Structure 1
Amino acid sequence: MGGSRGVVVVVAGMVLAVGGCGGAADEAHRADGSAGKGTVSPTPVRSPSGELVKWVGGLCESTVALKNLRAKSAADVKEIRGADEGDLVARAGAIGYLSSTPSAVDRVQSGLEELGSSGVPAADRLLGALRKKVTGVATELEGMSPAMAVDDAAGSAEDVDELVRSLTPPKPDLPALAAKDPRLGAAYERAEQCAPGWKPAGRETSSPAPAGPLPKAADGKNYRACADGACEVLVTSTADITADGTRVHVSVADDYVTFQSGGTLMQLGGAGGEAGFGDALKATVVAHDKDGAVLKFTLP
């Protein structure tokens, strides 16, 4: 038994000795001001370059543009769908929608093409996937003519809207990637276009500024003056005008004037536009604003 007691004492001594050494070392570290065992100093995040901040901002701007495009598309289609079947205003709205939507998608596509490499592989893969998606939709829209709205206003608009709704950022999206990559995250924080609620600055249009009230139409609202094919009349909402035997239904909206004659439907925006009927009769938009349009019908 004496031998057994000796072993126990020796083992206990070793344990105590090991414990004592560890404790002394910890105290020594604390005494000289160094960190204790297990403390890890944070790795400093390298500041993102101006080029990366600009790149991230550009991608955020394109993402916002797509979000706004999806929202506008949904609102436009809801309005078109809510109009009466065959209604002229619905068809005019659908034609305008089918005409303007491809251009909006093309603008986003151009913005994405202007972005080079970010230097962050995951972010570059995201850009490539988004470019592919937007380019695919732009290509499909090229095959959709605004004339489709003449026969099926709601259906044609819904087909385009389905394509627009597919323009969502691929996963993982930029916020998810920024959360995983510190340098990308720092650039995301600095890019103003990535801030919640950011809105693009208003773009100046090429349309001239309003020059005051509409000019006086020579024949006012006397549409019978157009019977011989030559007149200048004011239309504030809708009108049925027969000029040189051709019956033309005119509808005036804030942004465009629509002419329908037989199976032909034409839409003009702003002043200076010209619609032709047959080989001779023409209608020119002399002036147009929210109050109406002054139209001039002429023959050669």
Structure 2
Amino acid sequence: MGRSAGVGVVVAGLVLAVGGCGGGADERTGASDDTRSAAPTPARPASGELVRWVGGMCASANAVKELRAESAEELRGIRDPDEDELSARARAVGYLAGTPTDVRSVESDLAELGASGVPAADRLRDAWQKKVGRVVARLDGVSPAVGLEQAEGSAADVDRLVQSLTPPKPDLPALTKADPRLAAAYQRAERCTPGGKPATGETSTATSEPTGPLPEAADGRNYRACSDGACEVLVTSEADITANGVSVRVSVADDHVTFRTAGTLMQLGGAGGEAGFGNELKATVVAHDEDGAVLKFANP
């Protein structure tokens, strides 16, 4: 009798176990059906910080594109000058002196971007930094103090380095196709759209940034245009500018612009101001915000 009672208990336990397994299978099937029928989670909108980051990346990519075009044009002028021999040499020396500064400016802007929080976008920034950093390292050994007969060859070497700055793949437009947040930021970033205007159909929302864009600088980032002492340029972080024989290092922060020369240090805050460098040069802050500063250099 004791043995029969024990068997009964075991059988009952097996029945309960089987029933439990059957119930679990039904619940899992139901949960799977619920998952399939659930609506997809909407993509998060692009934050203001991501919009600024994407705009900065577009600005750097555009600066490289312009630099490559200007470099090719300068090299053509050096090889086939319309001026006399002395003017051609001066043009070559100016090219060899100014180009490294322009590339270092791009390097500085990329470093200032920081992390976007989107892994693929940060990998693109890192790839750009490596490319530009390698070129800067090579350009640091370039000396403008060469004879006319060597100037063309040196300029050609520099241009080859500049032309190597092609966009890493996948580039930013390609990344936007795979990430809705990047796509939304790209549409809102004014530096990423033709003419500096938001994409058609974009409307402002509660999360939009209230600040307006900087006015367009007449000479963009072409700091060589300042050599005669008259130019209007955009500086987003730091740049070395030589105007009318005065070498000025410009540093732009969120709330001030600093001008350094061999013997002076001037800092302008607020919405604008003017810095004077003796009788040779003056610099006016035309506009300034967290994205950079538009500066106008002129002879006094």
Task: Give the TM-score, by structure 1 length.
Answer: 0.54
Are the equivalent residues in 2 in contact too, given 1:57–1:188 (CA < 8 A)? yes
Q: Gapped runs of 5+ residues in structure 2?
A: 1-35, 198-214, 221-226, 230-241, 248-278, 282-300
2 CA distance for matches of 1:151 and 1:85?
A: 16
Question: Which of 244, 248, 263 is the matching residue for 1:270?
Answer: 244
SS state at 1:180 partner: coil
- Tell me what 2:228 maps to: 255
Letter in 2 for 1:202: A
1 CA distance for matches of 2:46 and 2:147?
A: 49
Judging changes above 3 Å, is the alpha-carbon distance between structure 1 residues 121 and 271 closer, same or farther for their aligned structure 2 residues?
A: closer
State the Cα deviation string for residues 172-206 of structure 1 (Å, max 9, x = none): 0000001111111111111111102449821799x
Are the equivalent residues in 2 in contact too, given 1:95–1:149 (CA < 8 A)? no
**Structure 1 vs Structure 2 CA RMSD:** 3.2
- Tell me what 2:122 maps to: 124
Judging changes above 3 Å, is the alpha-carbon distance between structure 1 residues 128 and 149 closer, same or farther for their aligned structure 2 residues?
A: farther
Question: Which of 31, 54, 57 is the matching residue for 1:56?
Answer: 54
The offset of 1:148, in angstroms, is 2.7
Letter in 1 for 2:91: G
The offset of 1:270, in angstroms, is 2.2
Letter in 1 for 2:136: A
SS state at 2:96 partner: helix
2 CA distance for matches of 1:95 and 1:162?
A: 17
Letter in 2 for 1:184: L
How many pairs does the alignment contain?
Answer: 180
SS state at 2:79 partner: helix
State the Cα deviation string for residues 223-269 of structure 1 (Å, max 9, x = none): xxxxxxxxxxxxxxxxxxxxxxxxxxxxxxx839xxxxxxxxxxx96
**Structure number with bigger Rg:** 1
Question: Which of 156, 159, 173 is the matching residue for 1:161?
Answer: 159
Judging changes above 3 Å, is the alpha-carbon distance between structure 1 residues 287 and 53 closer, same or farther for their aligned structure 2 residues?
A: closer
Letter in 2 for 1:148: V
| Pairing 1:186–2:154 present | no
- Tell me what 2:216 maps to: 201
Are the equivalent residues in 2 in contact too, given 1:272–1:287 (CA < 8 A)? yes
- Tell me what 1:213 maps to: none
Judging changes above 3 Å, is the alpha-carbon distance between structure 1 residues 198 and 164 closer, same or farther for their aligned structure 2 residues?
A: farther
- Tell me what 1:71 maps to: 69
Letter in 2 for 1:62: S
2 CA distance for matches of 1:92 and 1:49?
A: 48
| Pairing 1:104–2:74 present | no
SS state at 1:144 partner: coil
1 CA distance for matches of 2:180 and 2:80?
A: 48
SS state at 1:172 partner: coil
Equivalence map 1:85-96=2 (5 Å): 87-96=85-94
The offset of 1:107, in angstroms, is 0.7
- Tell me what 2:27 maps to: none
Letter in 2 for 1:63: A
Moved over 6 A (4+): none
Letter in 2 for 1:255: D
Are the equivalent residues in 2 in contact too, given 1:77–1:157 (CA < 8 A)? yes
The offset of 1:83, in angstroms, is 2.3
Alignment identity in percent?
55
Are the equivalent residues in 2 in contact too, given 1:192–1:198 (CA < 8 A)? yes
Task: Give the TM-score, by structure 2 length.
Answer: 0.54
The offset of 1:101, in angstroms, is 0.5
Letter in 1 for 2:69: A
State the Cα deviation string for residues 63-98 of structure 1 (Å, max 9, x = none): 011111111111111111102899211111000000
Judging changes above 3 Å, is the alpha-carbon distance between structure 1 residues 89 and 43 closer, same or farther for their aligned structure 2 residues?
A: same
The offset of 1:271, in angstroms, is 6.4
Judging changes above 3 Å, is the alpha-carbon distance between structure 1 residues 141 and 175 closer, same or farther for their aligned structure 2 residues?
A: same
| Pairing 1:134–2:132 present | yes
- Tell me what 1:293 maps to: none
1 CA distance for matches of 2:74 and 2:60?
A: 21
Are the equivalent residues in 2 in contact too, given 1:149–1:156 (CA < 8 A)? no
2 CA distance for matches of 1:86 and 1:157?
A: 18
Letter in 2 for 1:164: V
Judging changes above 3 Å, is the alpha-carbon distance between structure 1 residues 69 and 269 closer, same or farther for their aligned structure 2 residues?
A: same
Judging changes above 3 Å, is the alpha-carbon distance between structure 1 residues 179 and 158 closer, same or farther for their aligned structure 2 residues?
A: same
SS state at 2:117 partner: coil
